[in-house]
Structures are given as structure tokens and as C-alpha cells.
């Protein structure tokens, strides 16, 4: 099995360790990976801001980089849905580009979707223990990222993957499908609302008794971790790939 990494700009620039973890997990499963170095961003920030022209410019670059790749894997539900669902929409009036975009639609997969639906793997053989944590199981809560859940319809796959990690207990997060309040530029433009929504998510995570909160999108995680860190709450927020890599 060969796959092409779309690492996303956020992981590349801020969270390279997530990319490393993803490479670790996938190569242990025998997936041969390649990383086209010309890749940058999918264009989602501009698209969600209504700047369609700018988004299209970046999207054209993405398409020319990834065109022809058989199978693309990304550690993000929202970037995946951008390419999968919104590229064809973005190039609605440009038939040639739309065709090229549509050719990519079926070939890009979010990380957990790739593992469970494409590779057919639910247990990657990982074990996890909190650094310095007591022996026994670590309580993990899973947060459903909105685009992963609602645009791609993925909710069971990550949970199955988490449950099969040794040393981990998946705990219920109340109102897990509720948005964390990130919303891209929204989080900067309306910080007071974004922060208030986040507060509710943080309360839910604390109530769940989890020691680690896992999600599949670094946007949400950056937002949640930023809030936890500002409030001095000693909870770990991590990407699924890091948990599966037994970091």
C-alpha cells in the first residue's frame, strides 16, 4: 500500500510531532509513504472567510501538487472535507478545474478513516501510558471535530481505534458532538464567544474525568489546549496519531 501525506500547514508549522506520529503509525502498518515537499495549505481559511478567489488560488496549487496521487492521507477532518466537498463547489464555474478537483475527491482520506475503512485496521497494536503516570489505564475522552463528524460522517472509527490501545480507557464526553468553538477565523474575530463555547467544552472534559482529550483536528486541539494551558489545567490534548503512536 502506498499513500501520499498531506500534512496540512498547521501540523507542518506548529505540530510537526503529530506528523511524525502519523508517519510512525502508518509505516509500522506497512504503508509506503511519500511527502511532496511543494505542498502548503488547502485554502480553507480563505474559503471559510468568504475569500473565494484567494482560496481558489491556493486550491489550484494543491491540486497541481497532488494530482495523480492514488491515495492521500491527512491528519485533519476539516482539511480533508475542504478538498473532498468544497473544492468541487469552489470551482463550480470553472469546468476544467472542477474536473481535476473531483478527481481528487475520492482519493483523499482522513487519518482514522484511512486506517479503518481503507486499511481495515482497528487495532494498531499500540499501548499508551501517561508520562510519569501510574501504572494502569489512562482515561481518554474523544472530542468529535465538527467537519470530521458532519462533513465526513466519521465518529465510530476513531473510537474503535482508541478502545484498542492498551492501557487506555475511553470515557464518555457529554455532548461530544457539540462544537468546541474554534471555527477558524471566528476564534480570532469573536474571541469572547469562542472562549465561552470553549469553556463549556472544557467543563465537559473535566467532568468526564479524562486525563487526555483526543481529537483528529489540530484546529480544535490548538484551541482546546490553548484554553487548558491558559487556565493552568493539567490535562493533555493530543491528536489521535500521537495516542496510536504510543507517545
Residue 167 touching other proteins (CB under 8 A): no
From candidates 69, 71, 98, 118, binder to other proteins by CB under 8 A: 118
DSSP for 141-210, written as a single string: EE---HIIIIIS--SHHHHHHHHTSBTEEEEP-TTTTS--S-TTTHHHHSHHHHHHHHHHHHHHHHHHT-
Task: Decide: is 172 part of the binding site for other proteins (CB under 8 A).
Answer: no
Binding mask 122-161 for other proteins (x = CB under 8 A): xxxx--------------------xx--xx----------
Three-state SS annotation for 112-146: HHHHHHHCCCCCCCCECCCCCCCCCCEEEEECCCH
Give yes or no for residue 235 binding other proteins (CB under 8 A). Answer: no
- Cβ proximity to other proteins: between 44 and 138 the closer is 44
Our CB check for other proteins shows the closer of 170 and 198 to be: 198
Does 245 bind other proteins (CB under 8 A)? Our answer is no
193 binds other proteins (CB under 8 A): yes
C-alpha span between 16 and 126 (Å, rounded): 20
Choose one: 97-105, 116-124, 130-138, 203-211; the region binding other proteins (CB under 8 A). 116-124
Contact string 35-64 vs other proteins (x = CB under 8 A):
x-xxxxx-x-xxxxxxxxxxx-xx-xx---
Alpha carbon distance 214, 50 (integer Å): 30
Q: Give CA–CA dist 146/178, Å, rounded.
A: 8
Which letter does DSSP use for residue 71 in this model? -
Tell me which of 98, 163, 167, 190 binds other proteins, using CB under 8 A. 190
Q: What is the DSSP string of 73-95?
A: EES-HHHHHIIIIIHHHHTTT-H
Residues 82-111 that bind other proteins (CB under 8 A): none
Binding mask 6-35 for other proteins (x = CB under 8 A): -x-x-xxxxxx--xx--xx--xxxx-xx-x
State in Å, rounded, how far the first CA of the chain is from the last one: 24
| Shortest Cβ 195–other proteins spacing (Å) | 4
d(CA 130, CA 120): 28
Does residue 66 contact residue 36 with C-beta atoms inside 8 Å?
yes
Our finding on whether 246 is near other proteins (CB under 8 A) is no
Under the binding rule (CB under 8 A), the answer on residue 67 touching other proteins is no
237 Cβ contact list (under 8 Å, min separation 6): 212, 213, 214, 215, 221, 224, 225, 228
Q: Which stretch binds other proteins (CB under 8 A): 100-108, 115-123, 133-141, 205-213?
A: 115-123
Q: Minimum Å distance from CB 136 to other proteins?
A: 23
Amino acid at each position: 500500500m502506498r499513500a501520499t501525506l498531506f500534512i496540512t500547514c498547521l501540523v507542518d508549522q506548529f505540530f510537526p510531532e503529530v506528523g511524525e506520529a502519523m508517519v510512525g503509525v502508518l509505516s509500522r502498518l506497512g504503508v509506503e509513504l511519500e511527502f511532496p515537499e511543494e505542498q502548503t495549505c488547502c485554502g480553507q481559511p480563505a474559503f471559510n472567510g468568504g475569500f473565494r478567489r484567494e482560496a481558489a488560488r491556493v486550491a489550484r496549487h494543491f491540486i497541481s501538487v497532488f494530482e495523480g496521487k492514488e491515495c492521500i492521507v491527512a491528519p485533519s477532518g476539516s482539511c480533508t472535507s475542504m478538498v473532498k466537498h468544497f473544492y468541487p463547489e469552489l470551482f463550480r464555474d470553472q469546468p476544467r478545474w472542477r474536473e481535476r478537483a473531483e478527481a481528487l475527491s475520492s482519493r483523499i482520506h482522513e487519518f482514522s478513516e484511512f486506517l479503518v475503512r481503507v486499511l481495515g485496521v482497528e487495532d494498531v497494536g499500540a499501548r499508551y501510558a501517561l508520562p510519569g503516570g501510574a501504572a494502569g489505564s489512562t482515561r481518554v475522552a474523544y472530542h468529535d471535530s465538527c467537519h470530521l463528524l458532519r462533513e465526513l460522517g466519521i465518529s465510530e472509527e476513531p473510537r474503535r481505534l482508541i478502545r484498542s490501545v492498551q492501557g487506555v480507557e475511553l470515557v464518555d464526553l457529554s455532548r461530544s458532538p457539540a462544537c468546541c468553538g474554534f471555527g477558524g477565523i471566528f476564534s480570532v474575530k469573536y474571541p469572547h464567544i469562542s472562549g465561552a463555547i470553549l469553556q463549556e467544552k472544557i467543563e465537559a472534559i473535566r467532568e468526564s474525568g479524562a486525563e487526555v482529550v483526543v481529537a483528529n483536528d489540530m484546529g480544535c486541539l490548538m484551541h482546546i489546549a490553548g484554553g487548558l494551558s491558559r487556565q493552568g489545567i493539567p490535562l493533555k490534548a493530543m491528536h489521535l496519531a500521537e495516542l496510536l503512536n504510543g507517545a
